[in-house]
């Protein structure tokens, strides 16, 4: 099963027709603004957007924040891209509310704005959203953790290595994990970070490996008996693993995560990560570029939410939780 690969193949077939049609007119200009240039997820998203833009005969402009949460750089990038003639801007918003005035100014000038991976707040501030169901991604790893290690009388002592204050993607994954683990009263509509008696430590990592390691070190100092770690993404997971290894705890603490990148899936193979929810940034990027070219050609804007899919990856399947193994994960990492 290689559904993400099939999507790209279909898109590139359509690219031949659209590219020839657009060759006669002005080249569409599409902007892509990611949260950072260093996170492997966004690196792959950029690669996918460039590949699709080249296939469709579009010009791709790119920019990124200095760190996750850098709203000012994203605002500047929107302004620069509009001034340079971009008619569609694809963005992974770092600050889901603070970015909205800049988005609205761009839209007022006829620019289509599409969010990738992370929604704005409200989601309706953009024309469309192409993203993982991040609550579901959290639910899957929560269900897995419960079934794999805590279905009996063993008491969970959980460290939550989160993103940062504010971003909806971080809230959705965090809350989804707790809901999947069986904490009552949490739904996809829960608007703030939920907690539970089992959570003994919560730290922000900004999705960064070094910050993930520091966060895990802090949590171990607070509660040395932690036996389950949720991480916002795989860089944070690898940081957590290093801290656990230094403390001699890597063998008896379960780490679950989100991304399903190639390095992350290899982490599943090696046993550093027990399970990860795989998402598909190449598909998000390809959909965004296709929507940009369609808007340039027809004047029709994209709308609504498109779920780009999520798959639980683990080499130790558990009953009642649907998953694929690391072989599948490597064949489909990032949506290749």
**Per-residue confidence in pLDDT tens, the chain, 336 aa:** 444 433 333 333 444 444 444 444 589 999 999 999 999 999 999 999 999 999 999 999 999 999 888 999 999 999 999 999 999 999 999 999 999 999 999 999 999 999 999 999 999 999 999 999 999 999 999 999 999 999 888 999 999 999 998 889 999 999 999 999 999 999 999 999 999 999 999 999 999 999 999 999 999 999 999 999 999 999 999 999 999 999 999 999 999 999 999 999 999 999 999 999 999 999 999 999 999 999 999 999 999 999 999 999 999 999 999 999 999 999 999 997
Residue with tokens 């990856």: 313
pLDDT at residue 26, as a whole number? 82
Enclosing H/E stretch for 59:
strand 59-64
pLDDT at residue 18, as a whole number? 46
Q: What is the DSSP string of 123-173?
A: GGGSSEEEE--HHHHHHHHHHHHHHHH-SSSPPP-EEEEE--SS-HHHHHH
Q: How far is CA 149 from the centre of its chain?
A: 26
State the virtual CA torsion across 325, 314, 167, 228 in degrees, nearest 10.
Answer: 180
- Six-digit token pair at 191? 């608007």
Backbone angles phi, psi at 59, to 5 degrees: -95, 130
Calpha distance 230→157 (Å, rounded): 11
Omega within 30 of 0 (cis) for the link into 328: no
Calpha distance 132→41 (Å, rounded): 13
Calpha distance 302→239 (Å, rounded): 38
State the virtual CA torsion across 255, 260, 232, 318 in degrees, nearest 10.
Answer: -40
Calpha distance 174→179 (Å, rounded): 9
Calpha distance 256→119 (Å, rounded): 23
**CB of 93 within 8 A of CB of 99?**
yes
The three-class DSSP label of residue 201 is: strand
Enclosing H/E stretch for 12:
helix 3-22
State the virtual CA torsion across 218, 219, 222, 224 in degrees, nearest 10.
Answer: -120
Beta strand extents in 226-320 (DSSP E only)? 228-231, 254-259, 275-278, 304-307, 311-313
- Distance in Å from the first CA to the final CA of the chain: 12
The three-class DSSP label of residue 256 is: strand
Distance (Å) of CA 216 to CA 171, 203, 236: 19, 8, 9
pLDDT at residue 119, as a whole number? 95
Alpha helices in 23-149 (DSSP H): 40-56, 71-83, 100-108, 134-149
In DSSP terms, 330 is beta-bridged to none
pLDDT at residue 61, as a whole number? 98
Q: Count CB atoms within 10 A of the CB of residue 197.
A: 10
Of 18, 12, 96, 20, whose CA–CA distance to 292 is shortest? Answer: 18
**CB of 49 within 8 A of CB of 287?**
no
pLDDT at residue 21, as a whole number? 41
Q: How far is CA 160 from the centre of its chain?
A: 17
């Amino acid at each position: 099963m290689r559904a993400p690969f099939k999507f790209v193949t279909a898109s590139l077939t359509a690219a031949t027709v659209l590219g020839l049609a657009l060759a006669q007119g002005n080249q569409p200009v599409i902007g892509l603004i990611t949260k950072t240039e260093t996170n492997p997820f966004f690196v792959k998203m950029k690669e996918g957007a460039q590949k699709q833009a080249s296939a469709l005969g579009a010009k791709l402009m790119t920019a990124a924040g200095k760190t996750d949460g850098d709203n000012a750089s994203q605002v500047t990038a929107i302004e620069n891209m509009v001034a340079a003639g971009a008619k569609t801007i694809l963005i992974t918003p770092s600050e889901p509310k603070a970015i909205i005035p800049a988005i609205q100014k761009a839209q007022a000038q006829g620019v289509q704005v599409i969010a990738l991976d992370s929604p704005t707040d409200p989601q309706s501030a953009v024309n469309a959203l192409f993203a993982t169901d991040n609550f579901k991604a959290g639910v899957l790893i929560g269900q897995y953790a419960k079934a794999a290690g805590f279905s009996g009388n063993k008491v969970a002592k959980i460290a939550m290595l989160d993103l940062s204050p504010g971003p909806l993607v971080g809230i959705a994954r965090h809350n989804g994990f707790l809901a999947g683990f069986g904490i009552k009263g949490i739904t996809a509509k829960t608007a703030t970070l939920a907690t539970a008696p089992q959570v003994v430590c919560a730290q922000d990592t900004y999705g960064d490996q070094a910050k993930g390691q520091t966060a895990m070190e802090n949590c171990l100092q607070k509660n040395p008996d932690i036996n389950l770690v949720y991480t916002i993404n795989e860089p944070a997971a690898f940081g957590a693993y290093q801290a656990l290894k230094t403390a001699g705890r890597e063998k008896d603490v379960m780490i679950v995560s989100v991304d399903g990148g190639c390095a992350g899936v290899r982490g599943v193979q090696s046993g550093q990560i027990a399970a990860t929810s795989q998402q598909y940034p190449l598909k998000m990027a390809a959909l965004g570029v296709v929507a940009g070219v369609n808007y340039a050609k027809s004047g029709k804007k994209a709308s609504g939410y498109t779920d780009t899919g999520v798959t639980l990856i683990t080499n130790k399947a558990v009953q009642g939780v649907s998953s694929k193994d690391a072989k599948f994960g490597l064949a489909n990492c990032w949506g290749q």
